Amino acid sequence: MEIFNNLANLPPAVLGGAVSIGNFDGVHLGHARIIGRLTAWARQIHGAAVVFTFDPHPVRLLRPSEAPPPLTWTDRKAELLGRLGVDAVIAYPTDLALLQLEPAAFFQQIVCQRLAARAVVEGPNFHFGRNRAGTIERLASLAAEAEVQLEVVQPVEVDGQPVSSSRVRQHLAAGDVDRVRALLTQPYRLRGMVTHGAARGAKIGFPTANLEAIDTLLPGDGVYAGVGRAGTCWPAAINVGPNPTFGETARKVEVHLIGCEATLYGQPLELDFLSRIRDIQPFASVEDLQRQLSADVQRVQELVKRLAGSEP
């Protein structure tokens, strides 16, 4: 899988294939269904399966105050799409010139001229062009005129409701990472830089890595079982929220990497969230906190073994 940041000088192998356009934030089960049909079309027409996405999300330019926090960064999104069989991801640097294109101009310039697409695969709620004026019906008309094949893929439903990025955000904000895991193609992952904290964890036998510069949506407050990734992998007890036992009210991310003896200060760390194990709560004594942390570690190890398998 290759990732491109512009439309200039695309290799011939990327042109003339099947294309899907969208944000694909989170890469959930609905996206996976679209990609499944995209790759099928690519095989049928002997071309590449190409995703055209936007970096950043158009709303960040048009209505910054309304921009939803992203679920994935660009490289992670491309990695997830590649796992589903996508050959190339074009993460187009979103600008006002692109967003001001009328639907017909967008279709002609991007889909036909730059990508030479022979097939397009989208969901029924797809919109494109200036002010999102292009509907799926308009796309069907333009595709027919250009003799481009179009397939409209119906949403995936889980528990009777369509899977969407906004639904993933709602469950994530509520801390329900178990349900989030059921909606995504891979467990929810965030990244940040390890910084120095108060070092209280090390003094009581549970050293933690403090994570800052996080650029995606944080789960709701709670203690989670997950996997930490920094070159190698460790089961991780993840605390999102304040530390009321020590009178702290600031919201932060602290991670105890089980079995990790490396010094990670100043290094990037990625966290996969597998399951929520309890609420944030104050403890009457350090001894009570230590007993709870011991129980947390045991629970995390059990969950990581069961949910992440042998990797973790």
Contact 70, 77 (CB under 8 A): no
Name the pTM for this structure. 0.93
- Whether residues 38 and 78 share a domain: the answer is yes
In this prediction, residue 258 has a pLDDT band, given cuts at 50, 70 and 90, of very high
- Whether residues 96 and 150 share a domain: the answer is yes
* Residue 203, pLDDT score: 65
- Whether residues 9 and 150 share a domain: the answer is yes
Mean pLDDT of 244-253: 81
Q: What are 172-189's pLDDT values in tens digits?
A: 999 999 999 999 999 999
In this prediction, residue 233 has a pLDDT band, given cuts at 50, 70 and 90, of very high
- Whether residues 197 and 282 share a domain: the answer is yes
Question: Could you tell me the CATH number of the domain that includes residue 244?
Answer: 2.40.30.30
What sign does the dihedral 163-166-167-173 (CA atoms) show? positive
- Whether residues 152 and 220 share a domain: the answer is no
Task: Count the domains in the chain.
Answer: 2
Q: What is the mean pLDDT of the chain?
A: 93
The answer to which of 9-13, 55-59, 114-118, 232-236 has the lowest mean pLDDT is 55-59
Q: What are 111-160's pLDDT values in tens digits?
A: 999 999 999 999 999 999 999 999 999 999 999 999 999 999 999 999 99
Residue-wise burial string across 178-217, b where 16 or more C-beta atoms lie within 10 A, e elsewhere: bbbbebbbebbbbbbbbeebeebbeeeebbbbbbeeeebb
Question: Has residue 66 been placed in a domain?
Answer: yes
- Whether residues 131 and 15 share a domain: the answer is yes
Q: Please report how many Cα atoms fall inside a 13 Å half-sphere around the Cα of residue 295, on the Cβ side.
A: 9
Which residues span the domain enclosing 236?
188-307
Q: What are 278-307's pLDDT values in tens digits?
A: 999 989 888 999 999 999 999 999 999 999
CA pair distance 26, 44, nearest whole angstrom: 27
In this prediction, residue 263 has a pLDDT band, given cuts at 50, 70 and 90, of confident
CA pair distance 84, 33, nearest whole angstrom: 10
Q: Please report how many Cα atoms fall inside a 13 Å half-sphere around the Cα of residue 165, on the Cβ side.
A: 19
The answer to which of 84-93, 200-209, 217-226 has the lowest mean pLDDT is 200-209
The residues, any chain, with a CB within 8 Å of residue 101's CB and separated by 6 or more, are: 109, 110, 129, 130
Region of 204 please: left (phi>0), alpha (psi -120 to 50) or beta.
alpha
Question: Has residue 288 been placed in a domain?
Answer: yes
Q: State the DSSP code for 204.
A: T
Question: Has residue 103 been placed in a domain?
Answer: yes
Tokens of 133: 């004026």
- Whether residues 145 and 220 share a domain: the answer is no
Tokens of 107: 């279709």
- Whether residues 134 and 198 share a domain: the answer is no
- Whether residues 103 and 245 share a domain: the answer is no
- Whether residues 12 and 150 share a domain: the answer is yes
- Whether residues 135 and 195 share a domain: the answer is no
Residue 197 clears pLDDT 80, i.e. is over it: no
Residue after which a domain boundary falls, among 138, 158, 178: 158
* Residue 58, pLDDT score: 85
Question: Could you tell me the CATH number of the domain that includes residue 146?
Answer: 3.40.50.620
- Whether residues 146 and 236 share a domain: the answer is no
